[in-house]
Each structure stands twice: as C-alpha cells, then as structure tokens.
Amino acid sequence: MTDHGTNEDIDTDESGVVLTLPDELRGAFKEPFGPVFTDDERLVAALGEPVIVVGDVVTRHLTRAGVRPDLAVVDWVTERETLPDDEQPDIEGYERRIDLENPAAGLAEDLLHALRNGIGHDETAVVVVDGEEDLAALPAFAIAPEGASVVYGQPGEGMVHVEIDAEIREHARGLLSRMDGDHDRARRALGLE
C-alpha cells in the first residue's frame, strides 16, 4: 500500500484479506441501500457532510457537478470494463492518495484502514484500488459519522445515496459480521473496538 499524501502513512502490521463475501450473502447487496439518483443536480442537493464516494462513475459525476468528495474510492473499472482515460474521474487535487490492493468479493485490511483514516481526517483523500472496490461502501456505512453521505453506483440504475444514521450503521455492521473471515481483525482495522 502506498500513501501519496502529505499526512501520516497508514500503518498496517499485517496485510491481506480479512473478510470475504459468502455466496449466501450476495442477495443482500442486490437492492440499493438508499434512494437511486440519475440526476446529478438532485443528488448534489441531497448530500450531507462528509461525502464519501465508492466507484469511478459516481466520482466522475460528482466531480463534474462541482463536488469534490471528502473521500473517493476508485479502481478504474466499471461493470468489469477498464475505463478509457477520458472517462476516468479527476483525482487531481486530493490532499492524500492511497494505492492498495483489494480482491473481488473481499475486503483487505489495507482498504479498511484506508477507509477509517480517510473518513477520520479533515483532508480530502482518494483511494486507488488495484482489484475491486465494490464492497467498500459497506464498511463506510459502518463507520461514517451521523449525517454523512455515502454514494455508490448501482449498475444499470444510477447513483445510490445513503445518508448515515444509527439504523444503516447497525445494518452494515450486521452484514459485515455475516461475512467470512477474521471479524476481530476487521473491527480493529475499522476502529470499532
């Protein structure tokens, strides 16, 4: 993992995947966790603070609409296709850039640390994932502050806006607890212990 920012490096004593999505839990992610927007202006008007965005297309839409997310997570891929350069979101101007690896259907400890640190700092940050960032919204729901907006893409539908409250936070933590893996290590990485 490489932190290109000016702040402290994210320090992990171990690397690797801590949680994986079991087949029986995949259905829990089919339905959007919040309202779906297709209009950038309506979405921008609904955003709280901080703004956390997971996905290249959503990040591109918001930056082109004049919103610089406080934390963006991108992987240069949408719907399993690599984005051409002219369709990639603009990530210039972020105060911190963190490069890391994360597998499909999994959550690596580095990604969980990056989310925790990105949400916990006042500086803007972009996490560039080598692999997949699809599940990153779930731990963001679990740790984002009350009133924050987490936005992610719903393939073929639009941009899902989740306003964080106690109910969504507990729902996300419940889903994380049903994933396979080392739950204690995941909670520590997210600062939930």
Q: Tell me if 58 is assigned to a ligand binding site.
A: yes
The H-or-E segment that residue 190 falls in is helix 183-190
> Does 70 count as an annotated binding residue?
no
Distance, in Å, from the CA atom of 61 to the CA atom of 83, rounded to the nearest integer, reads: 14
Contact by Cβ (8 Å): 1, 98: yes
Residue 24 annotated as binding site? no
Instruction: Read off the tokens for 52.
Output: 């956390």
Known binding residue 126? Answer is no
Cα 159 to chain centroid distance, Å, stands at: 13
The response to whether 77 counts as a known ligand-binding position is no
What residues are paired with 101 via a beta bridge?
130
Binding residues for GTP: 56-58, 75, 133
Binding residues: 56-58, 75, 133
